[in-house]
Structure 1
Amino acid sequence: MPAATPVTPTDAYIEDFAAFVQASPSSYHAAAEVARRLEAAGFDRLDETEAWPAAPGRRVVVRDGAVIAWVQPDGAGPVTPFRILGAHTDSPSFKLKPNPSTTGDGVLQAGVELYGGPLLNSWLDRELELAGRIATDDGALHLVRTGPMLRIPQLAIHLDREVNKGLTLDKQRHTQPVWGVVGDDEADLLAELARFAGVPGATIVGHDVLVADTNAPARFGRSGELFASGRMDNLSSVYAGLVALLAAPAEAGHVSVLAAFDHEELGSESRSGASGPMLEDVLVRIAAGLGAGDDERRRAFAASWILSSDAGHAVHPNYPERHDPANRPVLGGGPLLKLNANQRYASDAVGSALWTGVCRQAGVPTQPFVSNNAIPCGSTIGPLAATRLGIRTVDVGVPLLSMHSARELAHVDDLAALGAAVTAFFAPA
C-alpha cells in the first residue's frame, strides 16, 4: 500500500481557508466567524458601550459586518506604534429588497438589487443561498443563512439564438432569482428567513440579507495548485490577517491589529467602512488606555503602518492586452505590491521597501501590479485609511483571475504566501 502523501503547511492553510469561506457567506457571518475563532483562542470580546481594560491582552470588537482585533503587548506605552492589517469582509453580490416576495408566471421570485459590481453572468445557473442578518420586532438581531434555495436561470439558447454573440443582462428584469413555485398557500420569503434563523413566527422589521454561491471551494489543476472559491475578494486577506494575528507575539514592539471593514465594495462610506470612524475609534481608545495624550497618540500614529490587503489581478491569458506590457503578475508568482500614480493605491517607495522586506523575512516572493494606462484601476481601503489617519500605508494582495465573479480563481501558493507575509509583518522588528 503506498504511503500517504504528507500534508504540507500550504495544504493545511488552504483547507482551513476553505472552511473559513464556507462559514462566511456574508460580511456579518465573516465578522462573527473571525470573532468566534479569536475568542476560542483566548481573545476577549469587548463591547463598544463599555469601558475597555488598559492592561496588555488580546481583544476583539465587532461592529455590524466589520471586526477589529488586536494584541496589546507587554510593555506597551503611550507612543507604542500600531501595525495594522486592513481588509474587507464584503464581496459583490445581490441584496434582498424590501417586500422581496414576488411571483411571475407561476414561479416564486426574490426581489434583489445589485450590491457592488458583481460579474452578472457568473451568477447564472448556480445554486444560491440567502445570508445576512434580520431584525425582529422584539429588538433582537439574528444571523441567518438558508443553504441552497435560489437560482437565476438563464434563457435557453433556443429562445435567443444570438446569445453567444453577446449576452446582455438587464439588471432589473434578468437578475431576480427563482426560489419555488406558486402553491395554494401564501409564500412569504421573510417568513422563510425567520424559520431559518430559528425564530419561526417572528415579525421581521429589518433585514440586511445578501445572495451567496453555495458551491464549496475546490482545488484543481495539474498538481492541485489552483483554487476556486467565491468571495476570495476579499476573504483571502481577512483570513491571512486572522492567521497572522493568532500567531502575533506578546513581546512585539507594536500593537498588532486586524481591521476587517464592511462596505468596501460600495465605497466604504459607512459606520463600519474604512471611511468611517471605527478604526480611529479603536486606536484612540487603545492609545488612551496606554496613557497617550493627543501628542503621544500622534507620535504613535506617525510610527505606525497599515498593510492594506485586497485582491488584485493576475494577467489573464485570454486577454493579455488588458494588462501592462512590462509588469505582468502571474498566478503562483507571489502576493502583489499594488502601485498607482494617481493614488488609487497608497503604496509609495517607503511602503514598497517595507513590503519587500516583509516578504524577504517571510521567505516568499512578491510581484508588482500596475494597471494598463488605458484601463483605470479600482481602489482599496488603503488611500481612505491613510487619508483619515495619516498612517503610512502600502497596498498588497493576492493575484486573482475572474475577480468579482461568483467564483474566483487563485494559486494556493499565493494564498499561503500572503498569510506568511502578514505574519512576518506582525512579528517583532
Structure 2
Amino acid sequence: MHAWPASEVPALPGKGRDLRIHDTATGGPLTLDPGPVARIYVCGITPYDATHMGHAATYNAFDLVQRVWLDTKRQVHYVQNVTDVDAPLLERANRDGQDWTELAERETSLFREDMTALRMLPPQHYIGAVEAIPGIVPLVERLRDAGAAYELDGDIYFSVESDPHFGGVSHLDAEAMRLLSAERGGDPERPGKKNPLDPMLWMAAREGEPRWDGRSLGPGRPGWHIECVAIALDHLGMGFDVQGGGSDLAFPHHEMGASHAHALTGEHPYAKAYVHAGMVALHGEKMSKSKGNLVFVSALRRQGVDPAAIRLTLLAHHYRSDWEWTDAVLDEAVERLARWRAAVSRPDGPPADSLVEEVRAALADDLDAPAALRAVDRWAALQERGGGTDEGAPGVVSRTVDALLGVAL
C-alpha cells in the first residue's frame, strides 16, 4: 500500500532541541534521545468513513513529532497501518450494500488526499492489515505454541496473564479495563475465556465474512491488536521510540499490543514512550463515527476552507487536550492565517532569529504548539507596526512556520 506525497521541509539554521514529551506509561515527562534514526509507529484509520477532525488532530500531533526530530538533523522512520479489514468496516459495507474492499480503498484514498492537503508528512511504510496477514499468522502460531494463547471454539485468544508487564501502559484497574474492553471492540462477557480481558488474536471464519489461510490456525482473519504488532516489529523492531495514537487507544489497543510484543520477544519495553493525543468534540460530545457527530476535512475543503487554516485550528490546541470544534475556532484560524501571510508578504520586518528559537523551544516542550503560535503572533504584530528593517526576516518566519508547524505561508 502506498502513502501520500511528502511536502518539502525547509532546513533551518542551527539545530533543534531534543523532544520532551508526556509518556502515558510513566505518567510524566520523558526526554526522548533517539539515535541517528528516530522510530515512530502511529496507529492508522479503519477506512469506513472520511477523515474527521479527531483523526486530523491525532496525525497533526505526530507530524509535529517528526518535524521536531527532523530539525535535530535526525532521520525519521515512521510506520503507520490501515485496518482495512475489521468488524466496523464490514458492518458499514453491509449496511450500505457495498463491497468492503471497495469501501476501504475509497476511504483510504480520501484519507491520503486529506493528509496531502494538510501537509502531514507521510510514513515510510504504510501497511494495510490485509497485506500484513502473511506476517501475522506465524506470530499467532508462536504465541499459541509458547502457551501465551489458547483456542476457544476455533478462535485464538491471547492470555494477558502471560505478560508480567500487562497493565503497564494504561495503569487501569481490572474493572475499568473490563468496561473499556466492552466499549472498544473486546468481548469480556464471552464464556470460556481464561480472563475476561483476553483479546482475540485470530477469528475463525464466519459465514459471509472474508477469510484467509491461517495455516495451522485454520481459515479466518486477524484480531485488531496483533495487526499493529506484526507491522511494527517487522519494520521497527522492539524498543522503538514512540507508539502514538489517540487517547482512546491507550486501552485496550496499546496495552494489548505491548503485551503481545513482550510475550513474542521476551523483551521490554515494546516502545520507549506511549504518546496519546486528546479527543475533539462537537456539540458537547466526542466526535465519533458511531454517533455521527463529525466534521470532515474533505467537506471543509469542498467548502473552500484553506487547509492551512484547518491545520492552524488544530495547532491552536495542545495535542493532549480535549477540545471542541466550533465555527469560532475555525474563524480565528482563518484570521490568524491572513495576518501571518500579510506579515511575511512585506519586503522586510523585525529580526526573526529569536522567533526560530522560541518556536523550537515551545515544540520541544511537549509539543506546545499554542505557545509556538503566540510567538509568531508577536512577530506579526511587530511587523504590522512597522517594527524592523531586516530584509531576510519574512523569509525566515515563513520557513520556520513551514518546517516546524507544517503551515505554508
Class of the TM-score when normalised by the shorter of the 2 chains: under 0.3
Tell me which protein shows more helix as a share of its residues.
2
